[in-house]
Amino acid sequence: MPEEKIVLQGSLGLETFDPATSNWKRWLRRFEAGLTVHKVPEAQKVTYLLHFIGPSAFDIICDKLAPEEPHNCTYAVLITALAKFYAPAALEIAEIFRFQTRKQQEGETIKDYVAALHKLSVNCNFGQYLKTALKNQFVYGLTSKRAQSRLLETRDLDFEKAIQIAISMELSETNALYMHPGTPASSIDYVGAKTDKKPKGAEKAPAKYARGRIETSKPRSDYVNANDKSNCTCFRCGGRHLANKCKLPRDITCKKC
């Protein structure tokens, strides 16, 4: 009878499962990959699994299988019980809601934002629509309005192209900040963009200039009423009327003449 191969403890090069920091499904993939690489015999899989799941998960599996002892169960039974506890079926609608409300956070890089969207899309079951959903949410959630506008006007935009353009603009803004220290990022973000802000000194026009009229600050009573003869003196005859109403011949320019 051939001697059964014994794999030394820790030779899988894998840390024990930590529910606080590890994803069960992904950790299990790494664990099974280690079993395959090191050619662990089928009879030893249960022993290795119970060792590498760590103390917290071991207590969980003992409670769930009681009064059955975990060592007496098959490998398939153990991983099924652990999956039900650490990786329950996600609510698709809730997962999609989390995905569609995820926006780029203040100070978050484009790469980190993309990674977050990828992670949230895992349980959304987008299928063939995945790349389109990622692209749409990526553009919608960008904090840079300049980058967002550039992407919206780009034809035949796909997810990879959107990431490339956004990263390029992010780098250009970062380099501009290094070249012009003390300049607010918001100023660089809107260089060349139209603004509704009025230039300094462009105050609101006083009421006397409103609606296209130019009015003097003097009361209307100070104006000379052209129809009021008592306020007029004819330069031809000196009478109390306008010169165009004077009865003297028009060749007379003044009374003295």
How does pLDDT run across 101-113, given as a tens digit for each residue?
A: 999 999 999 999 9
Please tell me whether residues 154 and 114 are part of one structural domain.
Answer: yes
Say whether both 79 and 99 belong to one domain: no
Closest by Cα among 24, 48, 25 to 36: 48
| 190 lies in some domain | no
Domain boundary among 177, 208, 240: 177
Range of the domain at 47: 24-87
Structural domains in the chain (count): 2
The reply to whether 236 falls in a domain is no
Same domain, 82 and 104: no
Q: Of the ranges 8-12, 70-74, 215-219, which is most confident?
A: 70-74
The better pLDDT of the pair 180, 227 is held by 180
pLDDT of residue 183: 58
Instruction: Give pLDDT, residue 185.
Output: 55
Report how far apart, in Å, the C-alpha atoms of 94 and of each of 91, 118, 126 are.
5, 16, 13
pLDDT confidence of residue 231: 64
Kindly state whether residue 142 falls inside one of the protein's structural domains.
yes
* Cβ within 8 Å of residue 130, ≥6 positions away: 121
Last residue of a domain, one of 177, 209, 224: 177
* pLDDT at residue 56 tops 80: yes
Mean pLDDT of 177-200: 54
Which of 118, 147, 177 finishes a domain?
Answer: 177
What is the residue type of 193? A
The residue-averaged pLDDT of 161-172 equals 93
Is residue 82 within 8 Å of residue 57, measured between CB atoms? yes
Query: Do 131 and 146 belong to one domain?
Result: yes
Do 62 and 103 share a domain, yes or no?
Answer: no
Does 160 reside within a domain? yes
Are both 56 and 100 inside the same structural domain? no
What per-residue confidence (pLDDT) applies to 106? 92
Region 114-133: what's the mean pLDDT? Answer: 94
Residue 153 falls inside a structural domain: yes
Reported as a pLDDT band with limits 50, 70 and 90, residue 213 is: very low
Crossing angle for the helix pair 110-121 and 159-179, nearest 10 degrees?
150
Residues 101, 168, single domain; the answer is: yes
Is residue 191 one of the residues assigned to a domain? no
pTM: 0.49
Asked if residue 226 is part of any domain, the answer here is: no
Q: Are residues 76 and 99 in the same domain?
A: no
Query: Same structural domain for residues 77 and 115?
Result: no
pLDDT higher than threshold 80 for residue 160: yes
Q: Is residue 5 part of a domain?
A: no
- 66 and 114 together in one domain: no
- pLDDT value of position 241: 76
Question: What gap in Å lies between CA 173 and CA 134, rounded to an integer?
Answer: 24
* pLDDT beyond 70 at 81: yes
- Ramachandran quadrant class, 220 (left: phi over 0; alpha: psi -120 to 50; beta: rest): alpha
Indicate if 62 and 48 belong to the same structural domain. yes
